[in-house]
Amino acid sequence: MDENMGNGSRNDGSSEESTLRLEPCLEHKADNYEDLEEELEFNPLLYSSLERYLPANLLNSSRLVKAQYMNEILLGYSPPSERNHTHKHREYRQKITSNYQAISESTKESFKNIMSEPSPGVLTFEMLQPRFCEMMLEEVENFEKWIRETKFRIMRPNSMNKYGAVLDDFGLQTMLQKFMEDFIRPISKVLFTEVGGSTLDSHHGFVVEYGTDRDVDLGFHVDDAEVTLNVCLGKQFDGGELFFRGVRCEKHVNTKTQPEEIFDYSHVAGHAILHCGRHRHGARATTSGRRTNLLLWCRSSIFREMRKYQTDFSSWCAECKREKEERIRKNVLFLKSQNGKKYSSEQERVYRFKVFEENYAYITEHNSKENSSYTLGLNAYSDLTHHEFRNSFLGLSSSANDFIRLKGRGSGSSATGVLSDVDAPSSLDWREKGAVTNVKNQGSCGACWSFSATGAMEGINKITTGSLVSLSEQELIDCDRSYNEGCGGGLMDYAFEFVIKNGVTMTQSWKLAPPTPLWKKTLASSILIWLMTHPNHLLAPILLQRHVVTIDGYTDIPQNDEDKLLKAVATQPVSVGICGSARAFQSYSKGIFTGPCSTELDHAVLIVGYGSKNGVDYWIIKNSWGTSWGINGYIHMQRNSGNQEGICGINKLASYPTKTSPNPPTPPAPGPSKCSMFTSCGQGETCCCGLKFLGICLSWKCCGLDSAVCCKDGRHCCPQDYPICDTSRNLCLKRMNNATIVQQPQKEAFTGKFGGLIYPF
Ligand SMILES: O=C(O)CCC(=O)C(=O)O
Ligand SMILES: [Fe+2]
């Protein structure tokens, strides 16, 4: 070394190349460089020894200038391998410095500079130098050798691994604790806050050994740690990849993995992986060689204590989070489907929500079936158990199943002979022909029978008289008491019987115009005006004239004769009994309903048409459960199902009303009728409104006909038998059986017996 130095050196100090003098300056007292150890490339003692050989002009320079000069010389003379080592050492020191920098900044961004996140919540970084890994491995081997020789019994590294050792037994307890506090905790404080990262206060450090003669793989598990550091020490191995499958709390540890949670990681010697202890993971088989990993399970006693009192871990458990989001979503759906329904107490609301959730699960499960021809959905009944629903919303008399029908008791006739010459088109919808009123809602009253019956009578009345009027189910519920039992159940044939004898009243309805700001401002005065101009409404029960629809008879379609049923429907809407208590029925939303359902009849509906879709035939059925149910209140049910009794027994109890004669005229009011507080019309006249504003009649007129129909133009009226106003042609019209409009040929203003020219007032 001396020789080399001497060869290449000049001592005039003029060259750019650094040189040393041949003889040391013995009287010079060399500086001490030990405190600069961090910054120096070589041992500080080397600098102190070399200093006396510095050119004279440098002897009294600062330590840093002298050190830099000596450094260049030392670098020039150090063998290439050492230089490489020195270079690497410098690089390493730079890295360490940047690590410390990141830790002192402690932000997500600063940590991103020193580590990468290949999958959410899994961080990787280079951690140990190969030399350190080698030393550690040697140490482990030594330890194991000692164990073998002394037959000393040591603890297993953890409950799953058999091979390896607990590092505290090596005397590394203090070093690892410090490492956790100074390095892992600052990182975890920022990146694993939700799992107690900022309060890590103890650790369990161990090495595990894998290989064909050691532990081969490691099952799917979570660690007994809040944050786990896993560093690979060995490099000669194949396999041993880690697989991650999402973070879970205790309760959800076995729940399904979402596709985005799947992450596989291959170990690299010296590289570390940092993850939350509850991030589910395992290790694949190490298929050759030896893999040794160092693990540091970092724990937080505070976090563990707090966890005992918590039930919601949605801030870190992916399944808790998913459940919470699902709950919020369901709550929104619940509110929407129940349309702001109020419950009597919070307890009741909670219970109803639970029922809703069960129904929702049932609906979702059904809809996930690929081969179902129909879809279920949420509706106003989604907060009811199926049991509650069955008990409240059906209402076909239980006698329906015994077929105690009115045939043979008088008016009912069997369709055995009739309908044979009907040529049914391939599809038909009585709604398109204006023969079906809006969908009604029976509420929680078991009177489906009356809705089915009125629907059939509304249809035939429209077909026969040309006018579609809504008929009063309430009247049947209240008055048809011979056999039927109101909300307690009934049969359509009994209702037809009742109407043959008594007729049925049209549903009279009037509505205030919807409130507007103007209405709100003048609500009080408006109500006063309304009451003054509509005294009849106040006295409605007394003064109302009864507009009645009658039928002449009804026909029972032979049981299980689907062909006859089709022909009947081709002629008019038909009342049928079905089994409406199948669970899927409660939540039916769209598509062709194919069951499952029994054929025990418990509900009554109205067939208003039929069709086919993708080769499947169906009935179009009007129900009485409001428009939130089914296809705006309707259901398509399979037709030609192959079952003789029809889908849900639909072929078993079908009947329809017959009508040929006009409806009776409304009996004249006993005296002059009062239109408003200030206007009245004479006997045999009808009050018609001449001028309406916001639903209020401002000017009443008298139509010179008894029980007339007032035309919308406010200037004409038509007789009850010819109720269709054609103001453009000045005619009153009516529809006949074949649904074409006919007009009586009179030229003069009509007499009240026939249709003809429109009647002015
Ligand atoms: O084998 C590995 O790298 C994983 C070890 C591990 O997950 C554990 O010991 O908890
Ligand atoms: Fe683990």
Query: What is the tens place of the pLDDT at every residue in 186-195?
Result: 999 999 999 9
Active site residue 681: no
Q: Say what the pLDDT of residue 653 is.
A: 94
At 683 the pLDDT is 80
Q: Which of 9-13, 481-485, 597-601, 742-746 has the lowest mean pLDDT?
A: 9-13
Q: Is 448 annotated in the active site?
A: yes
Phi-psi region of 154 (alpha: psi -120 to 50; beta: other; left: phi over 0): beta
> DSSP letter at 407?
T
d(CA 279, ligand 1 centre) in Å: 12
- Give distance in angstroms: CA of 122 to centre of ligand 2: 13
Q: Which protein residue has the closest C-alpha to ligand 1 atom 4?
A: 283
CA 445 to chain centre: 31
Highest mean pLDDT among 43-52, 245-254, 672-681: 245-254
Whole-number Å distance, alpha carbon 218 to ligand 1 midpoint, is 7
Contact yes or no for 278/249 (Cβ under 8 A): yes
Q: Identify the pLDDT of residue 283.
A: 98
% pLDDT > 70, the chain: 86
Q: Is 732 within 8 Å of 725 (Cβ atoms)?
A: yes
Is residue 385's pLDDT more than 90?
yes
Q: Please choose, from the candidates 609, 309, 237, 562, the residue with its C-alpha nearest in 3D space to the C-alpha of residue 430.
A: 609
| pLDDT reported for residue 40 | 85
User: Quick one: what percent of the chain has pLDDT higher than 90?
Assistant: 58
Report the atom number in ligand 1 closest to the C-alpha of 160: 9
> Residue 153 pLDDT > 60, yes or no?
yes
Spatial distance between the Cα atoms of 268 and 126, rounded to a whole number of angstroms: 9
Residues 6+ positions from 25 with CB-CB distance below 8 Å: 52, 53, 54, 56, 59
Confidence at residue 49, expressed as pLDDT on a 0 to 100 scale: 92
Element (H, E) at 363: helix 346-367
Contact 500, 551 (CB under 8 A): yes
Position 542 pLDDT exceeds 50:
no
> What are the tens digits of pLDDT across the range 209-225?
999 999 999 999 999 99
| Residue 26 CA, distance from chain mean position | 89
Closest ligand 1 atom to Cα of 283: 1
What's the CA-to-centroid distance between 109 and ligand 1, angstroms? 28
Burial of 333 (0-12, 13-18, 19+ CB in 10 A): middle
List the one residue out of 507, 434, 436, 443 whose CA is nearest residue 476.
507
Q: Is the CB of 276 under 6 A from ligand 1?
A: no
- Residues 189, 105: contact at Cβ < 8 Å? no
Q: Interhelix angle for 492-502 vs 448-465, to 10°?
A: 50
Average pLDDT over residues 424-439: 96
Mean pLDDT is highest, among 329-338, 508-517, 705-714, for 329-338
Q: Is 269 in the pocket of ligand 1 (CB under 6 A)?
A: no
Asked if residue 102 lies in contact with residue 113, where contact means CB atoms within 8 angstroms, the answer is yes
Show the CA angle centred on residue 613, arms to residues 611 and 618, nearest 5°: 45
- 663/684 Cα distance (integer angstroms): 18
**Low-confidence winner among 166-170, 568-572, 665-669 (lowest mean pLDDT):** 665-669
Question: What is the C-alpha separation between 10 and 396, in angstroms, rounded?
Answer: 120
Closest ligand 1 atom, residue 157 Cα: 9
- Give the pLDDT of residue 680: 83
Q: Of 306-320, 602-616, 618-632, 664-678, which gets the smallest average pLDDT?
A: 664-678
pLDDT of residue 511: 29
Catalytic residue, chosen from 442, 586, 651, 663, is: 442
Cα separations (Å) of 566 from 330, 607, 654, 739?
Answer: 42, 10, 11, 19
C-alpha closest to that of 443 among 486, 497, 483? 486
Question: So what's the pLDDT on residue 96?
Answer: 74
- What ligand is nearest to the CA atom of residue 271? 1
From the CB of 218, is ligand 1 less than 6 Å away? yes
How far is ligand 2, taken at its centre, from the CA of residue 229, in Å? 9
CB 242 near ligand 1, within 6 Å: yes
Residue 108 has pLDDT above 50, yes or no: yes
* Closest-lying ligand 1 atom to the alpha carbon of residue 158: 9
Beta pairing partners, 286: 239
| Ligand 1 touching residue 295 (CB < 6 A) | yes
| Residue 419 beta carbon below 6 angstroms from any ligand 1 atom | no
Eight-class DSSP state of 746: -
Whether 283 is in the pocket of ligand 1, judged by its Cβ within 6 Å, is: yes
Q: How far is the CA of 284 from the centre of ligand 2 (A)?
A: 12
Catalytic-residue membership of 298 = no
Contact yes or no for 411/554 (Cβ under 8 A): yes
Residue-level pLDDT at 304:
97
CA angle, corner 419, sides to 418 and 422, nearest 5? Answer: 150
Residue 290 in this model has a pLDDT that exceeds 50: yes
CA of 252 to the centre of ligand 2 (A): 17
Nearest ligand (C-alpha, residue 265): 1
In short, whether 208's Cβ falls inside 6 Å of ligand 1 is: yes
Cα distance between residue 221 and residue 218, in whole Å: 8
Q: What is the pLDDT of residue 512?
A: 28
**Atom 7 of ligand 1 has which residue's CA nearest to it?**
282
Q: Is ligand 1 within 6 A of the CB of residue 561?
A: no
Q: Is the CB of 294 under 6 A from ligand 1?
A: no
Helices (H) and strands (E) in the chain, counts: 21, 36
Is the pLDDT confidence value at 539 over 70? Answer: no
Where does the pLDDT of residue 751 fall: very low under 50, low under 70, confident under 90, or very high at 90 and above? very low
DSSP 195: G
306, two tokens: 């707090």
Answer yes or no: is the C-beta of 724 below 6 A from any ligand 1 atom: no
Q: Is the pLDDT of residue 95 over 90?
A: no
| Burial of residue 631 (number of CB atoms within 10 Å: 0-12, 13-18, 19+) | middle
2 pLDDT more than 50: no
User: Of 6-20, 140-154, 191-205, where does the model show the most confidence?
Assistant: 191-205
* pLDDT tier for residue 401 given thresholds of 50, 70 and 90: low
* Interatomic CA distance for residues 396 and 485, integer angstroms: 10
Residue 42 has pLDDT above 50, yes or no: yes
- Range of 123-127, 507-511, 693-697, 745-749 with top mean pLDDT: 123-127
- Which three-class secondary structure state does DSSP give residue 385? coil
Q: 204, 252, 603, 716: which one is catalytic?
A: 603
Residues with CB under 5 A from ligand 2 (ion): 223
Q: Ligand 1 atom closest to Cα of 297? A: 10
Q: Which residues pair with 44 in a beta bridge?
A: none
CA pseudo-torsion sign 352, 353, 354, 358: positive
| Distance of CA 208 from the midpoint of ligand 1 (Å) | 7
The protein residue whose alpha carbon is closest to atom 1 in ligand 1 is 283
Q: Is ligand 1 within 6 A of the CB of residue 215?
A: no
Q: Does 603 qualify as catalytic in the annotation?
A: yes
- pLDDT at residue 720, rounded to an integer: 79
Distance CA 705, CA 712 (A): 16
Q: What is the pLDDT of residue 414?
A: 62
Which atom of ligand 1 approaches the CA of 281 most closely?
A: 7
**Given this model, what pLDDT does residue 671 score?**
58
